[in-house]
Amino acid sequence: MQCVIHRRAEFSASHRYWLPELTEAENIQQFGPCIRFPGHGHNYVLFVSIGGNLDKSGMVLNLSEVKQVISREVTTQLDFSYLNEAWPEFQQTLPTTENLARVIWQRLAPYLPLVQVQLFEHPKLWADYQGNDMEAYLTISTHFSAAHRLARPDLSDAENWQIYGKCARPNGHGHNYHLEVTVQGQINPRTGMIVDLAACQKVIDDYVVEPFDHTFLNKDVPYFADVVPTAENIAVYIRQLLQQPISGLGAKLYRVKLIESPNNSCEVYCADPIDRIALPSEAALASL
């Protein structure tokens, strides 16, 4: 019987983004404030996903042994370290979140049947790596506040109430929406990045957060004049808005997840997600 198990670990470390072959101005342009000497630090949270058949004890692997492997091969070596000097891999490729996830996979793969490595640099920034050479996923989490009313203009108030319940009230209601945008790309063998993080954040802000924040979606966003702004339709529209500008940065938009409330969320993909293995990010964030 196939099963995937997840083990959580954590470590604290610092790093600096700087390439000696670039001038200071070029490094600033490439990495922004991350160039500051001697560096900056994070409380990293690591999720290691392992797949396999259940044994007679009802386990894929003994989690105590998994914990020991992760500690020996990763966290003991990285905890309270300066990542640029901790492992030789980071002499060639900078210890970005996505590259660090890739190298952790390489360190653990001889000992564990890995499915995915997910690394949180921050509750609003994390990377996923699934063993596909230099391919990785980077997720940016952000938020906006907006109001909406769920009602079809071609239906009566009574009919809308039957479909949408309290969400059809004429003056609408509001949410603090949490948005996760996942991009997919190839890790640059020198910078360690799959995309310019600051530029990606700016795209999300310019195309989504600023136009949507503190609006009544039905009235202030023209797209929703004729489209009911359900969480699903909002996520689909955000995907439509972001695909081209993120492609212009050299990455691919992979997933848009919209969390309307702690009880309701939806996600849409730019490709068939049937083969993906991902951790529920709400659970991961709750553990940070």
**Segment 135-150, tens digit of pLDDT:** 999 999 999 999 999 9
Tell me the C-alpha distance between 65 and 70, whole Å. 9
User: For residues 24, 141, 63 and 96, what is the CA-based torsion angle, rounded to 10 degrees?
Assistant: -10
Q: Which helix (H) or strand (E) holds 95?
A: none
**Residue 2's pLDDT band (cuts 50, 70, 90):** confident
Residue extent(s) of CATH 3.30.479.10 domains in the chain? 1-131, 132-288
Tell me what pLDDT residue 268 has: 97
Residue 14 to residues 42, 84, 237, 254, 269: CA-CA distances in angstroms?
6, 8, 38, 29, 33
Q: Is 167 one of the annotated active-site residues of the chain?
A: yes
Tell me what pLDDT residue 287 has: 46
Tell me what pLDDT residue 253 has: 98
pLDDT digits (tens, 9 = 90+) for 179-237: 999 999 999 999 999 999 999 999 999 999 999 999 999 999 999 999 999 999 999 99
Beta bridge partners of 82: 14
CA angle 34-38-44, nearest 5°?
60
pLDDT digits (tens, 9 = 90+) for 235-284: 999 999 999 999 999 999 999 999 999 999 999 999 755 444 444 444 44
Q: Which helix (H) or strand (E) holds 47?
A: strand 40-53
Catalytic residue among 98, 180, 260, 267: 260
Tell me what pLDDT residue 208 has: 98
For residues 72-76, average pLDDT = 98
| 74, pLDDT greater than 50 | yes
Mean pLDDT of the chain: 93
Using DSSP, state whether 143 is helix, strand or coil. Answer: strand
- The CATH number corresponding to 132-288 among 3.30.479.10, 3.30.950.10, 3.30.530.20, 3.40.190.10 equals 3.30.479.10
pLDDT digits (tens, 9 = 90+) for 157-180: 999 999 999 999 999 999 999 999
Contact 268, 255 (CB under 8 A): yes
Tell me what pLDDT residue 57 has: 87
Proportion of the chain above pLDDT 70, given as a percent: 94
| 50, pLDDT greater than 70 | yes
| 58, pLDDT greater than 70 | yes
Which of 205, 206, 226, 225 minimizes the C-alpha distance to 216? 225
| 25, pLDDT greater than 70 | yes
Proportion of the chain above pLDDT 90, given as a percent: 91
Contact 148, 224 (CB under 8 A): yes
Give the fold, CATH level 3, of 1-131.
Tetrahydropterin Synthase; Chain A (3.30.479)
Catalytic residue among 143, 167, 232, 282: 167
